[in-house]
Amino acid sequence: MLISDCHNDLLMAVQHLRERGHEDPFGDIWLPQLRSGGVGLQVLPIYTEEQFIGSGALRRCLLLVEQAYMIAERHSRDVAIVTDPGHLGEVLDSGRIALILALEGAEPIGADVEMIPALFRAGIRMASLTWNRRTMMADGAGEAGTRGRLTSLGREGIAQMERLGMTVDVSHLSDEGFWHVAEVSTRPFIASHSSARALHDHPRNLSDEQLRAVAGSGGIVCVNAYGGFLGPVPTIDVYIDHIAHMIDLVGVDRVALGTDFIREVSEIVDPVLTGPFFPAGSMPLIPDLTGPRDLPRLATRLIDRLGAETAKRVAERNLAEFLLANLPDAPAGSPGLSPGSR
């Protein structure tokens, strides 16, 4: 079984290590883990750290985009950045790891939605409007007290994303922002790394009504493995409880993995990642599921709990099939954005 994972913040950690003189952190640290974990498809979010909010957000975003292309060029036998369904199918068939670039929070866009097509041209194919904080498009889950919906810029941004074929991601949105996305969207949207609020009442999790709305749009929910979103005593079985709950609620074809492995990233990156939810230094994690290397253990438990076919749909096929159906086609005659085409 290959693994398709919709959220791993490794780009941020790779950038930090490169800035501190480590020549090839992806090859030395993450590629062996992805390979040993059986990862065939990995979404790589680009997140704006606190110190880069404002005029530095776009610069930081472009540095991480470039970092991704450097990774793909240096390790072209193992990975490739994918921007269209044809290339995704080709990479998956080749045994390489397909990398999808995503935007986690709209800080790099700022107040100008024309940045969205520019970032699309750079290869970004999925975007959320917020992290936990407020952006000029919407309020994140950490600003729930404002009860804010999308701004006019946020609505315009969604229209731009849908016109281009960039998938809208609702993870991290406030509840009001989520429902506004559901109201104005015309294409399937995704929750890239969210768990079930019915099992653990946390503002970063989605209610059953929200889960149904994602599935009803034609989208999928990728279940977050961060322990703080799962329950007081997070284990692999508790994580699978969230997966099983969603399968029962919205069907086996609408549930996938969005692991959000953060331990190794948090040990490298300046520790301001958890915001208002968990103080620095107190991250609750699943003890035996902390990185890609642990995914075979998860796969075994999924098979034991859900059966081989359901486990394969959740862990491998659903995210890949969603992207094959929703990534935009490459323009006729386009050389694409694969390594070597720049």
Provide the CATH topology of domain 3-326: TIM Barrel (3.20.20)
**Cα–Cα distance between 193 and 58 in angstroms, integer?**
23
What was the pLDDT predicted at 271? Answer: 53
- pLDDT tens-digit profile, the chain (342 residues): 899 999 999 999 999 999 999 999 999 999 999 999 999 999 999 998 878 888 899 999 999 999 999 999 999 999 999 999 999 999 999 999 999 999 999 999 999 999 999 999 999 999 999 988 888 888 888 887 788 899 999 999 999 999 999 999 999 999 999 999 999 999 999 999 999 999 999 999 999 999 999 999 999 999 999 999 999 999 999 999 999 999 999 999 999 999 999 888 877 786 555 454 555 556 789 999 999 999 999 999 999 999 999 999 999 999 999 999 999 998 765 544 444 333
Reading the block at residue 326, the tokens are: 């929703």
User: pTM score > 0.85 for this model?
Assistant: yes
CB-based contact 46:103 (threshold 8 Å): yes
Q: Provide the 10 A C-beta neighbour count for residue 267.
A: 9
Domain ranges of the chain: 3-326
CB-based contact 189:217 (threshold 8 Å): yes
Q: Provide the 10 A C-beta neighbour count for residue 93.
A: 8
Reading the block at residue 206, the tokens are: 């989605």
What was the pLDDT predicted at 139? Answer: 82
Specify burial of residue 199 (Cβ count, 10 A radius: 0-12, 13-18, 19+). Answer: middle
What was the pLDDT predicted at 332? Answer: 65
What was the pLDDT predicted at 142? Answer: 82
Which residues neighbour 223 within 8 Å (Cβ) at sequence distance 6 or greater?
193, 194, 195, 196, 239, 242, 243, 246, 255, 256, 257, 258
What was the pLDDT predicted at 334? Answer: 53
What was the pLDDT predicted at 280? Answer: 52
HEC per residue, the chain: CCEEECCECHHHHHHHHHHCCCCCHHHHHHHHHHHHCCEEEEEEEEECCHHHCCCHHHHHHHHHHHHHHHHHHHCCCCEEECCCHHHHHHHHHHCCEEEEEEEECCCCCCCCCCHHHHHHHCCEEEEECCCCCECCCCEEHHHHHHCCCCCHHHHHHHHHHHHHCCEEECCCECHHHHHHHHHHCCCCCEECCCCECCCCCCCCCECHHHHHHHHHCCCCEEECCCHHHCCCCCCHHHHHHHHHHHHHHHCHHHEEECCCECHHHHHHCCCCCCCCCCCCCCCCCCCCCCCHHHHHHHHHHHHHHHCHHHHHHHHHHHHHHHHHHHCCCCCCCCCCCCCCCC
What was the pLDDT predicted at 270? Answer: 61
**Cα–Cα distance between 289 and 105 in angstroms, integer?**
26
What was the pLDDT predicted at 339? Answer: 43
Specify burial of residue 204 (Cβ count, 10 A radius: 0-12, 13-18, 19+). Answer: buried
Reading the block at residue 264, the tokens are: 């190794």
Q: What does the chain come to in residues?
A: 342
Q: The tokens 């957000």 sit on which residue?
A: 57
Which residues neighbour 189 within 8 Å (Cβ) at sequence distance 6 or greater?
167, 168, 169, 170, 181, 182, 214, 217, 219
What was the pLDDT predicted at 274? Answer: 46
Reading the block at residue 185, the tokens are: 């969207």
Reading the block at residue 340, the tokens are: 């070597």
